Amino acid sequence: MNGFLPVSREEMEELGIKQFDYIYITGDAYVDHPSFGVSIISRLLESLGFTVGIISQPDWKSDRDFKKFGLPKYAFLVTSGNIDSMVAHYTSAKRKRSDDAYTAGGVAGKRPDRAVIVYCRKIREIYGDVPIAIGGLEASLRRFAHYDYWDDEVKPSVLVESTADLLMYGMGEHQITELSKRLADGEDIKNIHDIRGTCYLTEPCNTPIGSAECPDYKQVCENKEAYARATKIQYDQQDEVYGKTVIQRHGKMMFVQNPPAYSLNSEELDRIYSLPYMRNYHPSYEALGGVPGIEEVKFSITHNRGCFGYCNFCSIALHQGRRITCRSEESILEEAEKLTKMSDFKGYIHDVGGPTANFRHTSCEKQLKFGMCKGKKCLAPEPCKALKVDHSEYLDILRKIRKIKGIKKVFIRSGIRYDYLMQDKNDEFIRELIKHHVSGQLKVAPEHCSAVVLDKMGKPHIEAYKEFQKRFYEITKGIGKEQYLVPYLMSSHPGSTLKEAIELALFLRDNKIRPEQVQDFYPTPGTISTCMFYTELDPYTMEKVYVPKTSKEKAMQRALLQYFRPQNREIVREALIKAGRCDLIGNSPSCLIPDIAVQSNNKNSQKNNVERKDNKKWQKNRKNQTHQKKAQVQNQHHQKNQKANRKFPK
């Protein structure tokens, strides 16, 4: 065997396995690395003494792949993979993607749209009433009735549409550990309704008492205010300390979400990351060109989980949660040592991070006992007064990794919260970050500059970025390096009118920033921003929110962020005229694009000058030609006279 979990009947038989305990079906190619959820859950099950077979990207139009291992002893586990299958397939403009980073050779189309539903229905079609548990990002973020951007409608819980028995939301280690033990003890999956971090369907008469109830599926389909209220309830109960059971009726059945699973402590995280991962894609993909998705993470180390940054457009709060948990220093250093022993390691660790790289502790002391503040953010619009800022432990870890033999450079690429960093009174971390951990460019995410839009994003105001930008370039210049900030920017987020888009364009102009890439807001399932996009309401204030929805306006807002591109001039001109900002069209340095009429006049003037020059040249040539012709005629007369004189001498 090659060290990977079995992916074929031959490998199953080679290990002497007659029936797998669990069969894991995934929409991704099989990559055995702790950045992939399938790898973590399958290796954890293996460590608990269970056998697991992997069916990767099965052909859903046929029974063959689903039948290759037969029935599992305990359950089928189903996931779409590391990301939502619709996001994997379509751009924010709903255009089909031409590639897929989680497929061998980067080939698109190896998984179906809404993969979790399709895979589960196929299992039911073949095997009937077998135990099925679903998990991963797609299942987690579609667990309640949710707005589906691609069909432009509200869809029921994925648990309803998939016909699975149990949904595990969040990271899943505690859930799968308890579930596997109880199934092994002979419990029926249909009766396991008390595991934290799981969801199930039941008859309304069995609804748990004291639950927080969302407006039902019918209501959220018909009433946008009801949808917004449901979103607020779901987020308000997403805390492992005080979160209640949340319910939402779907027709004749009640959907029940148990309170969130408890975060893994350092000891538990250390155990998860010490499992025997191969840290690569399965060898069978080598001939196909490998799996592109491994490249950025193969030599990366995850040191934390969770994010109290809590941006409204991000899914982390509803999936991983806001509480920070982290691995021990010993565990991280041990993994760094392992990387140096890999045959293709070149001395560069690509990242020591997580959802947010420089979060190493909970944001304040009280949340350990009382939970995260409901409806509030730790960093936006301004940092909370109770915020605890300390980079010393993270910095110490980075210093120790740099000293390990065989490591040339340690980069940080998974995102730095500059607003949190700037609250640190000790500047050691920012200095060492700039000196040792930036590969020429540091990616940061101000996202916008307008306070109106940033408030809807749940981001700090632009002053925090300006302060960081100033400090970054001061330190960079001071150490004699040439390094740059690469800001992530988002167009067309709820709250952004053309006025705010122009404000961002002017900010870019004034700061000499010319972004090569701009991300349109993408309404992915389950986020607060997606709720605003669909309902045009802020779920926490119920105030109206402006939402750019037409493809024309979204194209205008996107083009404004790259106003300097010649191919964008016409649509930027149209946007500026529509917004009443013709003052930004012209040839002065303060303008965004040149005036077409002035350009045209300049071209005509240049053309006239050329024509005048050409005319003078032609006249001069004509005069020269006339002189030459006269000279030729005179010369011919002279030659005739000479001949005549020779023939008839005087």
Q: What is the pLDDT of residue 516?
A: 87
User: CA quadruple 532, 535, 540, 544: dihedral positive or negative?
Assistant: positive
Which one-letter amino acid corresponds to residue 582?
A: C
Burial class (CB in 10 A: 0-12, 13-18, 19+), 556: buried
- Check if CATH label 3.40.50.2300 holds for domain 9-198: yes
The kind and range of the H/E element at 389 are none
Q: CATH 3.30.750.210 spans which residues of the chain? A: 299-439
- CA distances from residue 260 to 371, 426, 526 in whole angstroms, order as listed: 12, 35, 16
How far is the CA of 485 from the CAs of 107, 466, 490, 511, in angstroms?
32, 11, 16, 11
Q: Are 4 and 283 in contact (CB under 8 A)?
A: yes
User: Considering the entire predicted model, what is its pTM?
Assistant: 0.90
Query: Rounded CA gap, 273 and 265, in Å?
Result: 12
- pLDDT at residue 357 greater than cutoff 90: yes
Nearest Cα neighbor of 445 from 261, 262, 313, 538 is 313
Looking at residue 517, its pLDDT comes to: 85
Q: Which residue has the tokens 């030659």?
A: 639
CA atoms within 13 A on the CB side of 51: 17
pLDDT at 274: 98
Q: At a CB cut-off of 8 Å and minimum separation 6, what does 125 contact?
A: none
pLDDT at residue number 605: 46
The pLDDT value given to residue 602: 46
pLDDT band at 414, cuts 50/70/90?
Answer: confident
Q: Which residues pair with 247 in a beta bridge?
A: 213, 256
pLDDT digits (tens, 9 = 90+) for 272-291: 999 999 999 999 999 999 99
Please choose, from the candidates 631, 564, 630, the residue with its C-alpha nearest in 3D space to the C-alpha of residue 592: 564
pLDDT value at residue 583: 96
> What type of residue sits at position 189?
I
Among 216-220, 382-386, 507-511, 640-644, the minimum mean pLDDT is found in 640-644
The phi-psi region of residue 266 (left if phi > 0; otherwise alpha if psi is between -120 and 50; otherwise beta) is alpha
Cβ-Cβ contacts under 8 Å for 485 (sequence gap 6 or more): 441, 442, 444, 469, 472, 473
How many Cβ atoms from other residues are within 10 Å of residue 538's Cβ? 20
Q: Where do the DSSP E strands lie in 27-126? A: 31-32, 52-56, 75-79
Model confidence over 362-398: pLDDT tens digits? 999 999 899 999 999 999 999 999 999 999 999 999 9
Mean pLDDT, rounded, of the chain: 93
DSSP helix/strand/coil, 61: coil
Residue 645 above 60 pLDDT? Answer: no
The pLDDT of residue 2:
85
Residue ranges, comma separated, of all CATH 3.30.750.200 domains in the chain are 441-594
Do residues 154 and 247 make contact, with C-beta atoms less than 8 angstroms apart?
A: no
pLDDT at 603 exceeding the cut of 90: no
Distance of alpha carbon 342 from the chain centroid: 28
CA-closest candidate to residue 309, choices 491, 214, 133, 444: 444
In the DSSP assignment, the letter for residue 170 is: S
3-state SS, residue 144? coil
The share of the chain scoring above pLDDT 90, in percent, equals 90
What would be the CATH architecture of the domain defined by 299-439?
A: 2-Layer Sandwich (3.30)
Q: What pLDDT was estimated at residue 621?
A: 58
Name which CATH class applies to 441-594: alpha beta
Decide: 155 and 148 in contact? Cβ < 8 Å.
Answer: yes
